[in-house]
A and B are shown apart, each in its own frame.
Chain A
């Protein structure tokens, strides 16, 4: 192996490490749902992913997630929250409210219909 080979090997290893860090480990911005009138409400923009990617809510209070789908890509046309048996079609360029009341604390997955796009619902005591 010559010097260039070594450089390519090092660069490749670094690239693999970075890919895995970026997609699996990097922190995603979290946001807390705003409580008003007995409902914790938050807007989630849907555009190739969910923004914010981590949503913090309080246990026991109804939660309204307002999904604002800003694209036509069919990947994001459905939102699924398996722990709360929710699957909803999100019409493109419209806001769709999904309501649930978290009765237990923990981290729950929010994903698209094909489980490619993900966000987390963090229910805290």
Chain B
């Protein structure tokens, strides 16, 4: 496929440089045309992809001694937002000026003395300013739309005010003609100025309110620091963020915003990630941990290696997801779309019929005209167009602040219809990390031989040498309790791991002599070593019943304690499940774990329905069964990686993760906080949003359904109609903004 690309080149100063680069490019196989522009410092190359890739072109240019860079392939969502904001700001400034002029003119027209002979002419001049300048865009836009065989809101305003203006001008210029035909030459200049002024005022409010609907995205854009301090040649150097390259080491001082995504290479700190994940507790970061750009480094200094930059960074990905979501459509909008499509021509037809009707039934021609104008002015297709998108925009922004990223309108609409919530166990309900949750001590003749801390320290001394996942739980338990770490640990030697049973080692006594033997493991290990667990056997059975893995700790031939290790339930999981049930949702646990473990956890968190011992590929089947042939809407909450197929099969897939690592692309909704309560937030938000959308649509429709007949019956003056019309849109946007709370 033939492609054309423009590559900026640095360092070219003369025509010779230019021709060198040009011939190098032209000589590259696969390039059909190359032209280098010295003034613009760029090369425009037509090449054949994939015979030659843009990177190859860079190599050709660099080989000539000049530096070149590929242009940014895709504008970042922030850039797009910025240009849209700029356009909106300019529009708003203009609207404010136009509104002010029209309303001032409208006020003056009312204050002019009624009987002065010059009055019609002054009114004509003043109103012409409003029609010709303030309201000019209504007419030009209506005309352009007309040429394309389309009719829009501007058409209604243009026809309505245009008719009133033209009639008033005729009555001013040739009052005799009207009088000769028995018609009073009434003037409607005030109405024209007031209608245009009020509609513009409504547009101004609407523009301001619409700006707030994208505030969340703007806030995200504001998180990106403009500069970064990198370490180059052992010196700290402040450079623009765009100049940061992958692999650069950058420095973050306490209190500073982290400039880019990276991996900590030294230092330790607590990082506030709330702006990205909604998690209010700072997260501890040390060597090897990943940090995300835009988050705030709180306590210590960090050095990190830049990993993902620009459009690939977590911040940009979140912003892009949000922007895409805000731009998406909710299916509920289809009805509004169908109505909008035929709305304006239908209203114009009604207005003509109203004119004819009033003319024939005996109203004066002027009354018939004014009534028809009221019909045109009160009809408002705008509110219908704004009803769904504004609610969607505010909701996605609100979601992001809660750490809930919603993919789009369709996901949101399905999320409010959920009947069943399927929860994966490991990583969703439980932390997914085995932890020592209980310690039992063996009673001796004079009380326990050792205390709980000592039992754990003994176990950790041995297990720090092991690579078993349960060993890690024991070592962490000691560290979390402030027990000995690293070299402070009890010294052991002759470590021996016994697969499937445990581990054995010998303590190092004072002077390097052999100390007691320490054995950590299950009942099989004890049997092998001929140790009698004694009373601890009953404790172990009890632990197993509660889905904890019992681990014996023995000193020589005597069991000193038994540890219960389990994957603990996450904070808030029980509360979240209760909330889901209160919302009328059926909660099901789906897990590959054994029945005993699954039921024990289910009892703890209050889930009645458990499907256990399910292989990953069977999870999809299980979801399909729950969907019952499409009659029930099933949501699945799981981690975005192992559960990806099940998340895809579910009507709504919610990926739960910790921090910015969550696989946000894998699901309909990403829960950045890793807290099951955010699933509740997501569903509750979806319900509130759908309610707001329905209210908006209802009011937008009912407004027209009631307003048009009232106007047709001659019960609304055009000025009142214009006020009602202008504020129907504002009220819809205002109702959407309530979702922010």
Chain A interface (Cβ < 8 Å from any Cβ of B): 1, 5, 8-9, 12-13, 15-16, 19-20, 22-24, 26, 28, 37-39, 47-51, 53, 71-75, 77-78, 80, 82, 85, 87-89, 91-92, 111, 113-118
Contacts and interface: CB of A to CB of B under 8 A. Distances in A.
B657 interface: no
B148 A116 contact: no
Contacts of B337: 111, 115
Nearest to B386: A114
Nearest to A62: B1
B145 to A, nearest CB: 4
Nearest to B2: A37
5 contacts: A8-B355, A23-B149, A28-B149, A74-B87, A114-B340
A12 B140 CA distance: 25
Nearest to A38: B1
B360 A1 contact: yes
A48 B147 contact: yes
Contact of A53 (B80, B84, B149, B151): B149
A16 B152 CA distance: 17
Contact of A75 (B143, B152, B341): B152
Contacts of A92: 87
B360 A8 contact: yes
B83 interface: yes
Of A5, A12, A24, A118, most buried by chain B (CB within 10 Å of CB) is A12
A78 B80 CA distance: 12
A48 B385 contact: no
Given A75-B154, A91-B83, A92-B87, A12 B353 contact: yes
A53 B148 CA distance: 7
B327 A72 contact: no
Nearest to A9: B356
Interface stretch (B61-69, B344-352, B595-603, B718-726): B344-352
A122 B242 CA distance: 42
Given A22-B149, A77-B87, A48 B141 contact: yes
- At the interface, is chain B mostly helix, strand, loop or mixed? helix
B336 A115 contact: yes
A5 B362 CA distance: 10
A49 B153 CA distance: 13
Contacts of A37: 1-3
Contact of A77 (B84, B154, B348, B389): B84
Nearest to A2: B360
Contacts of B87: 72, 74, 77, 91-92
B328 interface: yes
Contacts of B348: 19
A51 B148 contact: yes
Interface in B312-347: 327-329, 336-337, 340-342, 344-345
A9 B360 contact: yes
B359 interface: yes
A117 B150 contact: yes
A91 B3 CA distance: 24
Of A48, A53, A88, most buried by chain B (CB within 10 Å of CB) is A48
B100 to A, nearest CB: 19
B353 A16 contact: yes
Nearest to B327: A87
Given A24-B342, A87-B327, A113-B389, A49 B352 contact: no
A72 B145 contact: no
Contacts of B137: 73
List the 6 closest pairs (A to B, CB-CB), nearest first: A48-B144, A49-B148, A114-B385, A12-B356, A87-B327, A37-B2
A20 B345 contact: yes
Contacts of B150: 23, 48-49, 116-118
Interface string B91-129: 100000000000000000000000000000000000000
Interface in B129-145: 137, 140-145
Nearest to A85: B328
Given A8-B360, A23-B150, A89-B80, A118 B341 contact: yes
A37 B337 CA distance: 36
A16 to B, nearest CB: 5
B294 interface: no
B90 interface: yes
Contacts of A48: 140-148, 150
Contacts of A51: 148
A38 B1 CA distance: 6
A1 B740 CA distance: 58
B91 A74 contact: yes
A118 B344 CA distance: 13
Given A20-B345, A49-B148, A115-B385, 15 more contacts: A8-B356, A12-B353, A12-B355, A16-B349, A22-B149, A47-B144, A48-B150, A71-B141, A72-B87, A74-B88, A75-B141, A114-B386, A116-B344, A117-B152, A118-B150
B382 interface: yes
A108 to B, nearest CB: 14
Contacts of B386: 114
Contacts of B151: 23
A116 B329 contact: no
Contacts of B353: 12, 16
Given A12-B355, A73-B137, A117 B145 contact: yes
Contacts of A89: 80, 83-84, 327
B144 A49 contact: yes
Given A8-B356, A22-B149, A114-B386, A72 B141 contact: no
B293 interface: no
A12 B352 contact: yes
A84 B456 CA distance: 60
